[in-house]
Amino acid sequence: MRFVKSLFGRIFSRFTIMGILIIIQFAWMALMVMRLGDYSRSINIMFNFLAIVAALFIIYRDESSAYKLGWVMIICLMPILGTAMYWFFGNKRPSKRIKNKIEPTRARHRDDVRQENCLSEVYSDRILETIKYIADYGPYPAWTGTKSKYYDLGDKAFVDMLDDLKRAKHYIFMEYFIIDEGYMWDSIFDVLQEKVAEGVDVRIMYDDIGCIDKLPLNFTSKLENAGIRVHVFNPLRPVLSLVYNNRNHRKIMIIDGYIAYSGGFNIADEYINKVQYFGHWKDTGIRLEGMAVWNFTVMFLNIWNSFVPTEEDYSKFRPHVNHPQAFDSDGILQPFSDTPLDDENLGENIYLEIINQAEDYLYIYTPYLILDNEMLSALKLASKRGVDIRLVTPGIPDKKIIFRLTRSYYLPLIRAGVKIYEYKDGFVHAKNFLSDDKLAVVGTINLDYRSLYLHFECGTLMVGCSSLRDIKEDFVRTIERCTQIREENCKTNFFGLLFDGILRAFSPLL
């Protein structure tokens, strides 16, 4: 009976119904276009001309060459359908609705995130250039007066998250790609209800597509009835639109303005290994306490106030308002957000900066390895100039096609000297870059097209922090639970190579 109920729920879920309606619209549109082409030779010529224009437009755009090549190939194979697919699924330009909502709010509060004078503590001119780049183009400043704690598992972070939530006195802001009902959410929700009763301002923002097959339809009503303010980011409607490309993939929890959590883990039981769908779930994150939390607060408020009709004075949320004592300082912390609203690929550029600066070693966790030419070339060149590069990817995938595509990049990297390891125990969802005991990034940014170009993401640049030692020790321990992939493990036949080539051609869609 339970199986039948579960099957019935999946068949008639909001995700399934919405998907079917959108597919019907897309199929109807494609059919009408093709019928018009068959009806008139001149119309067919016009459609093919538009496909050529679309291909030239893609080539002209300042984007990743691999991303452009994939879409041009799709349009060449299916001129009419491919052009429509690019417009709805591949066009990086955000919808005017989202841009017109968020950009004015960001512009009004740009002065709230100006760089203050802490850069004299940066001991490397090259690292200083990276910090200034983020401060200028994020724009998110670097901070001292902050200490960090690194978590090598979501399980461990969850314990501290609950303790900090229970101590909240003024406000709690939560922003997540996925929230799923279960032990983790129920534990948090119990605390949030207690906090609301105490007068704490609790706000939750989650991505609609990230949660569409997980949350019941009455979820927002349940939160609102409990006194929690809620915003569903970019809700899915049964209408074809390119607006669905831009998802909010960030994971942020802010408590009283001076404590923040971020990293790879969402709010669902698999992230703390209460359930295991793909073996052991390896995820990482950080806890910040101090001035750098302000960057996360501004990130949250900029989106919240863009869609919820309020205009708040941000200054009342600054870290020192609820913590007048001086904060402990441990290195330099620079939380940042990457947005699809501009042409600045901040996340990818920061990763490239770390790769290009590496001299001794570079350690990377990534769940997906779908590389453009710039990233692939940078990794290969760094390895060839003597940098010890090690990548850890999942041993048990959550998406088999993506896993096949990930493995297709192993061979050129291994031949360049990069060491690749697969996590034997399960799935790696962590997104870490660590280099030379000097700097690291821990955040939400995957090495795939959607994460680098289409989503709202966040991360934290960490320079000279004691947490860097913990990140390195975690990596060394994790490698002991991995299988190293060697060149002979990457051999495949002609049909395998052909299939991998097709996957790469369509990788912008994945």
Cβ-based burial of 416 (10 A; exposed 0-12, middle 13-18, buried ≥19): middle
Which strand ranges, in their side-by-side order, compose the sheet holding 252-255? 146-151, 285-290, 259-263, 252-255, 171-176, 201-207, 229-233
Task: Decide if 231 is catalytic.
Answer: no
The Cβ of residue 488 has, within 10 Å, a number of other Cβ atoms equal to 7
Q: Which of 429, 438, 448, 455 is catalytic?
A: 429
Q: How far is CA 65 from CA 313, 368, 377, 387, 424, in A?
A: 43, 19, 12, 25, 33
What is the dihedral angle through the alpha carbons of 390, 395, 401, 405, rounded to the nearest 10 degrees? 20
What are the φ and ψ backbone dihedral angles of 440, each rounded to 5 degrees?
A: -150, 160
Q: Which of 152, 180, 436, 448 is catalytic?
A: 436
| Ranges of H-type helices in 261-420 | 293-307, 346-357, 373-384, 400-407, 410-415
The Cα 120–Cα 97 span in angstroms is 41
Task: Decide if 283 is catalytic.
Answer: no
Task: Decide if 429 is catalytic.
Answer: yes
The Cα 487–Cα 496 span in angstroms is 16
The Cα 489–Cα 483 span in angstroms is 11
Whether 268 and 177 have beta carbons less than 8 Å apart is answered as: no
Closest CA to 338 of 231, 459, 450, 232: 459
Characterize 357-395 residue by residue with b for buried, 16 or more Cβ atoms within 10 angstroms of its Cβ, and e for exposed.
bbeeebbbbbbbbbbbebbbebbbebbeeebebbbbbbb
The Cβ of residue 484 has, within 10 Å, a number of other Cβ atoms equal to 12
Q: Which of 256, 283, 330, 474 is catalytic?
A: 256
Tokens of 31: 């059919």
Task: Decide if 208 is catalytic.
Answer: no
Q: Which of 195, 214, 251, 282 is catalytic?
A: 251
Q: Which of 68, 92, 149, 431 is catalytic?
A: 431
The Cα 394–Cα 442 span in angstroms is 17
- Would you mind telling me the total number of residues written for the chain in this entry? 510
Closest CA to 472 of 364, 385, 398: 364
Task: Decide if 431 is catalytic.
Answer: yes
Closest CA to 356 of 57, 23, 126: 126
CA angle 403, 406, 407 (to 5 degrees): 90
Task: Decide if 280 is catalytic.
Answer: no
Whether 158 and 242 have beta carbons less than 8 Å apart is answered as: no
Indicate the residue type of 465.
Answer: C
Please count the CA atoms within 13 angstroms of the CA of 299 that sit on its side-chain side. 34
Q: Which of 249, 282, 438, 455 is catalytic?
A: 249
Tell me the catalytic residues.
249, 251, 256, 429, 431, 436
